[in-house]
Amino acid sequence: MAVIDLTDASFEEKVLQSKIPVLVDFWAPWCLPCRMAGPVIDELAETYKDKLLVAKLNIDENPATAAKYQVMSIPTMILFKGRKEIKRIVGFSGKEEIKAEISNDTNV
């Protein structure tokens, strides 16, 4: 399963109404750590393809959702489950750390 690109308009349907947990990467193209995280986000989407939806939200193009979830620095990854935020990872610390955080909170 590929990474899904989100917009302010699609966030409710794709994330909050999802039947499985969703990891949302809040990013911007000018952010170097965000670009470094990109390939890892793609790998996570493939690794967890049937258990976890992985999505990206460009905060420059979709400021309303970033503001709603008080994303103050990027990259920020928020794990949603059952319409609720259950984990927030600020900054990019590498694939293994992200996988550990996901596994701790979703049992995937």
Cα Rg, the chain, nearest whole Å: 12
| Choice among 3, 15, 23, 34 that is catalytic | 34
Give me the catalytic one of 4, 28, 31, 90: 31
Tokens of 9: 């308009």
Q: How far is CA 60 from the centre of its chain?
A: 15
Helix (H, G, I), strand (E, B) or coil at 52: coil
Q: Which residues neighbour 42 within 8 Å (Cβ) at sequence distance 6 or greater?
A: 2, 3
Specify whether 31 is catalytic: yes
34 is catalytic: yes
User: Would you please indicate which residues are annotated as catalytic (active-site) residues?
Assistant: 31, 34
